[in-house]
Structure 1
């Protein structure tokens, strides 16, 4: 079944523009653009996952707390619906018109209290939250300094902002960050005089790298260069929400830096297994978003059922079962690192640039781990590893350009709260089995250039 799904994906990578030469230019031009992606097997297609019905084990979804897979969120959601039998499904309009309602205001207040902040604003998604922040918060004359690997929605939001200066710095490089701040200090007199602001934008956990921001060092550096307090941090906690910190409060809380951060965004489509997002900050921040953000003004308010699912997720957050799950994620990530780096093939496979896990190199020095483990490999080989893992009943998907830069292909593993040691050990064995085959192919000892699982998928694609 899974091979058939991947074979259909392979078939979709065949060039198509030449087959519609008599079609209107509108369609020909689109297919020519799509053929550029197809050339490198980079065309995205809508395929079904293989784990939802039990064909494979889920090591790819963002359901890291297993709220979705376990059924816990659905049960809590249904209980919340039962407590509100007369609720209207749609909001009816924008929050600024007739779409505001008592229930969403009550849940926002509960969320603010849970996180220990003044105010919370629920939005349709994490992306919507990032758009809203950068449309509404930066003022003319402000500067934005951001890590160059922040999420695409942050990049898009920054492009819409009123900030006069926008400076990126090399990923997680504190020295490069310092240089970026100094360049802003030197070039912007109003910022130097503390009349305008520097907004510093980073993520807590970077999902495609599997690493975390050196936030303590960044905060200290910003204080040194801007002692007037006009350097403020905006943190995207999409992937740390629920996974670390007391009661799952996230990365900032785990580091004890809540008082240093002006704005945090949390996303409910990751660990919560739901949908939506929330922006946390002061009453001033919330008022600015409501007044200045087009993404807030010109859209309908989140509907009752979405807000109910968010409330249900928060009800699960402090439960003992959730705490045990968080601890299990930490245990299993460490086990994965230990097992895979101790495997006899690992050193050679890494030396040959067949596969590597950069975040495994210093994991013992970290207080905690992310649940995100990217396996770096060569272009297209991520697809081959995906095929192999699928054949061994493990689901994980490759990440290629344009999500990551060309030449930086990888396959991302996500560890979940309900995974077991045996399941992680089995995944490690399957990865190393593929690495052994690729080493043999590299050495010319396998008698073929394409691994067996990929050959099966390619053969089915030719038949379709």
Structure 2
């Protein structure tokens, strides 16, 4: 077995030097304040039972998809899911990808063209940044949730690039993964509509929670003002995979040019059946689950104030609540103290977030009890 090249070893040494070396965690039986399973349905046996029923109803017995969607992998459940998604999320079409990462790199590496510009919120997902880097367009970040800064960045760019053939893509998230906050999507949609820009919204952390189990764009009735939405099934839906919502023409384009769709084995029939079964489950139990989650979010925020620790937290009304504690070492120590007390709260280190803004990220769920929230926040207070 060959030795690791010196350049790679030095990169690992650098990561260790700032106390940010990653490793795969071991499974532990801790109280969950870390997973993206916000509605707490990933372990619902009724969903797995229904997924098997769907496979039997469609007379599908194969365990794998057997190929990419453009070859042999486009089994009939894809059409059923995409038709459902388009109707459920009020979109003209839907195209399923293997993951949110695949959807974002597929879209951003293929849709914006040479001489186009992509302006993205500085806190968007890494997959969006990676997709932009893989594409031909130039990407520029703007200050987080700052429409004025976006306007200035566009004006400055056009002053230097007066070409009239430029297309502008504006990219944001409906719920941000590290702060749990939201942009003013209505104002952003109007700004894009008034100027002929293409608005793209990553709905990963809103899918299944907002809009009565749909997404935030639908909740705000902005479907026709948004060029594309990326929804994912691996968070609140407790499954795996993602989809891009948009026009039928956009879907046709992506089928022809999104390499992360074209050159990968498709999701298995069982995975797609599970997504369908989950949506069916949420039509029955979704209101109850979303209500429980919202109640836990309200209780968490109320308790931080009662304990006098609210100033350590980023203000937000989402399932993601973050305690900012500068320095990788300090935030890792806090996380370890909570782990020893029985709570799974992950540290988010630089360079994943900006240096000095390291944090503990608390992911709240419908299944968390008030006693669990009391326990973890009281441990936080003691540690602080």
Instruction: Confirm or deny a common fold (TM above 0.5).
Output: yes
**C-alpha separation in 1, matches of 2:2 and 2:74:** 45
Picking from 177, 183, 188, the partner of 1:213 is 183
1:392 is aligned to 341
Instruction: Trace 1:46-445 onto structure 2 (pairs within 5 A).
Output: 46-50=24-28, 55-163=29-137, 165-191=138-164, 195-224=165-194, 226=195, 229=196, 231-246=197-212, 248-319=213-284, 321-344=285-308, 346=309, 350=311, 356-359=312-315, 369-379=317-327, 380-435=329-384
**C-alpha separation in 2, matches of 1:326 and 1:407:** 34
**C-alpha separation in 2, matches of 1:280 and 1:173:** 25
Identify unmatched segments of 5+ residues in structure 2: none
**Alpha carbons of structure 1 residues 108 and 40: separation in structure 2 relative to 1, 3 Å:** same
**C-alpha separation in 2, matches of 1:197 and 1:384:** 47
**C-alpha separation in 2, matches of 1:343 and 1:88:** 54
How far has the Cα of 1:386 moved from its partner? 1.1
**C-alpha separation in 2, matches of 1:427 and 1:267:** 29
How far has the Cα of 1:98 moved from its partner? 2.8
**C-alpha separation in 2, matches of 1:86 and 1:296:** 22
**C-alpha separation in 1, matches of 2:44 and 2:338:** 23
How far has the Cα of 1:180 moved from its partner? 1.9
**C-alpha separation in 2, matches of 1:103 and 1:291:** 20
Q: Which runs of 4+ in 1 moved over 4 A?
A: none
How far has the Cα of 1:199 moved from its partner? 0.8
- What is the aligned length? 383
Work out whether residues 386 and 396 of structure 1, in 8 Å CA contact, stay in contact via their aligned partners in 2: yes
SS in 2 for 1:375: strand
**C-alpha separation in 2, matches of 1:79 and 1:48:** 33
**C-alpha separation in 2, matches of 1:186 and 1:27:** 45
SS in 2 for 1:92: coil
Larger Rg: 1
Work out whether residues 193 and 225 of structure 2, in 8 Å CA contact, stay in contact via their aligned partners in 1: no
Work out whether residues 181 and 222 of structure 1, in 8 Å CA contact, stay in contact via their aligned partners in 2: no
**C-alpha separation in 2, matches of 1:395 and 1:103:** 36
**C-alpha separation in 2, matches of 1:72 and 1:372:** 27
Work out whether residues 147 and 201 of structure 1, in 8 Å CA contact, stay in contact via their aligned partners in 2: yes
How far has the Cα of 1:72 moved from its partner? 4.4
Deviation sequence 1:280-336 (CA, Å, 0-9, x none): 1111000110111221222222221221121112112222x2212112222211211
How far has the Cα of 1:181 moved from its partner? 2.5
**Alpha carbons of structure 1 residues 293 and 386: separation in structure 2 relative to 1, 3 Å:** same
**C-alpha separation in 2, matches of 1:215 and 1:233:** 10
Work out whether residues 63 and 69 of structure 1, in 8 Å CA contact, stay in contact via their aligned partners in 2: no
Deviation sequence 1:175-200 (CA, Å, 0-9, x none): 10111222344344344xxx442111
1:444 is aligned to none
**C-alpha separation in 1, matches of 2:46 and 2:335:** 29
Work out whether residues 177 and 218 of structure 1, in 8 Å CA contact, stay in contact via their aligned partners in 2: no
How far has the Cα of 1:221 moved from its partner? 2.6
**Alpha carbons of structure 1 residues 30 and 315: separation in structure 2 relative to 1, 3 Å:** same
SS in 2 for 1:140: coil
